[in-house]
Amino acid sequence: MGRYYYTDSEKKLNKVLKYQQDELTEINQQIAALRSSCDAHISESEILLKSLGYEPNQPARKTISESLGTTPIIVSESWEDIVQQAEERYPYDVELEDILSQAEFENAYRDLENINKEFRQSTKLDGVDLSMVIVAAALQTLRWALMPAIGAPIDKASRMTSEEGDALVKKLKKEFAEKHKDWPAEKKQQGRRLRKHEGKTWKEIIFSGVPYDAIKGSKKVLGTGLSGNTHRYRTLGHDPVLGWVFGTSNILTDTLTLNNLTSYRVEKGAMTNKVLLLPQLFVETSDQIQSDKYKLPAAVFRQALHYKSDMYTKNGLPIPLLGVFNEALAGKLYSSQYDFLCFVRDSKIEGISAVLSILINMVISLLHGLYYDEGSDGNRDLFEVRTRKILLYSNTLASTGNVAATLITKNAKMLDIGGLLVTISRLYTDARFIARAKEEFIQGRLDDNLRQIANDADALLYTF
């Protein structure tokens, strides 16, 4: 097993190279034997001529073309035929070690290192480039230093009171019912048991409370930990994202789903110990939706209405999705008065920070492009590598400074998450661009070398 890994196409190429190498070796041996035989016969003929009194004349050397009278025509086989012949001769894998000698390996590595040095020299940052790195890093640092700190708790003065929230909900319920008063809202089944199975009408859905607010009876169900202070981050109906699915489903089926995906029946506004598995919850939800086409829009409206009443109150809603993955952290943030609206506010701050970081990178990139001179800078792609290096270095310096300042001050609110995300993306995209440009540069130099070898071979083929 050699030191290199080969793709299927490279394995075929190795076999062809080995096949041609062996063929050339055999041809050289045949030519050498023929030349030796010819030289021996010529020497014998010269000796015989001299013994007979003749002095052999030395004819002028001719080219191959002159000797043949026409230019030789080379007939080449198709690549598929050559590969087939090589695979028939070598049914095993051929590696570079089977083709190249140690000296040839050393020469190849030496050539590659020389090309790498040429690439580094061609993309080396000059004085103007370094100045731009400093300016760009300073702008990025100034950006995160002037951005508002994240992580501030709820400003209760800007939130609604519970009474104001209840009044808003009552008003919106009436407006919805009045708007859709032509929807039928009577029970279709007769008998208490059948009516219970039928579920609530769309009007009952609108005017009744949401089941995942049920705290009564939760103490009898071990392990739920529900209370007035915890139920919002422990029930999925209050999750700003998952609530659209689970909250709506709970409203339709009179259930309550915890953040561990366990659901319980809610009867007469109280939580019971009757457990529903997730598939059963969705089956019952589907049954309720199909039983009356007005139930789903009513349940979605009721879910949105509950969001509206809870989101802008002083307690607010929890950070989305966090309760499912880390209930302890979700509870800690919620108890410290950091809710969904705080998260949205900070997301906007970080979004603005990321946009500003991208804009600064665009300006620096455009300014650096103005310095491009084809005569002194050469290939445009190599100049672009220098631009990418400027952006990569400046973003890394600014983000490193931000992380260092956060650690020194022990103030996590200083962390520039938006800028860090932009830096990480640049580390990925710029590194890929530079690697691709380097690969193309090396391939170009290798192609030039192969072209020169081919030209030399042509020269040897058509003349002595």
**19, 90 contact by CB (below 8 A):** yes
Q: What's the pLDDT at 265?
A: 92
Q: What's the pLDDT at 464?
A: 44
Per residue in 18-58, pLDDT (tens digit) is 888 888 888 878 888 888 888 888 888 878 777 777 776 65
Judge whether residue 193 has pLDDT over 90.
no
Of 103-112, 114-123, 183-192, the one with minimum mean pLDDT is 183-192
Q: Average pLDDT, stretch 106-118?
A: 80
The single-letter code of the amino acid at 335 is: S
Element (H, E) at 108: helix 102-122
Whole-prediction pTM: 0.64
Rounded alpha-carbon distances, angstroms, from residue 238 to 233, 244, 251, 321, 437: 7, 9, 12, 10, 51
Per residue in 301-334, pLDDT (tens digit) is 999 999 988 888 888 889 899 888 888 888 888 8
Rounded alpha-carbon distances, angstroms, from residue 227 to 193, 323, 333, 344: 31, 15, 16, 26
Residue 405, number of CB atoms within 10 A of its CB: 16
Q: Which two tokens stand for residue 171?
A: 């008003």
Q: What's the pLDDT at 75?
A: 52
Average pLDDT over all residues of the chain: 83
**320, 340 contact by CB (below 8 A):** yes
Judge whether residue 439 has pLDDT over 70.
yes
Cα separation, 309 vs 206, whole angstroms:
14
Residue 263 has φ and ψ, to the nearest 5°, of: -115, 150
Compute the half-sphere exposure of residue 412: CA atoms within 13 Å on the CB side of its CA: 3
